Amino acid sequence: MKTYSKFQFGWLLPVIFIPFLVFSYLAYRYQWGNNPMNLWSYIVLQIILVGCVLLFLGMRVTVDETKIKVSFGIGLISKTVKLAEIKSVEIVRNPWYFGWGIKIIPNGMLYNISGRDAVELKFKNSKKIFRIGTANPHDLKNAIETRLIPEK
């Protein structure tokens, strides 16, 4: 069976951070203000801003024969769930206040990069849930359910 893999771009982070990158460059280059930025402050600030963009630029969801892997940005932040641990899969709509990013929600965790649609996983040996935000919840649910082994 073919591996399911989808990348969802998180548009909000670049919209926020790219102007800060440009502004910090201009502030350093033209030494704006009463206490202008020195070289080391500029370098540290740029590393932090670029690091944030790389870590949270988007989210990739991969479903293979044994596991689901959700990773942010370049893949340093990720979570893996074994398919054998899943009891049920359901399409849900997150409340607006759950927001985006990695969140602790009632009864579990949410990984979301944009939008409110998600797939909720319930586990066999735990009351915890795991929600994966996605633009295509029906495709993700189908990819997971076709790989689940039915209980006897």
Give me the residue label for tokens 């769930």: 81
| Average pLDDT of span 18-33 | 91
| Average pLDDT of span 13-27 | 89
| Average pLDDT of span 103-120 | 96
Query: Amino acid letter at 144?
Result: I
Mean pLDDT of the chain: 93
Q: How confident is the model at residue 151 (pLDDT cuts 50, 70, 90)?
A: low
pLDDT for 11 equals: 86
| Average pLDDT of span 7-27 | 90
Q: How confident is the model at residue 152 (pLDDT cuts 50, 70, 90)?
A: low
Rounded to the nearest 10 degrees, the angle between the axes of helix 39-55 and helix 12-29 is 170
Q: How confident is the model at residue 70 (pLDDT cuts 50, 70, 90)?
A: very high
pLDDT for 1 equals: 73
Q: Give the count of beta carbons closer than 10 Å to the beta carbon of residue 147.
A: 18
Q: In angstroms, what CA-CA distances link 36 with 26, 31, 40, 46? A: 11, 5, 12, 15
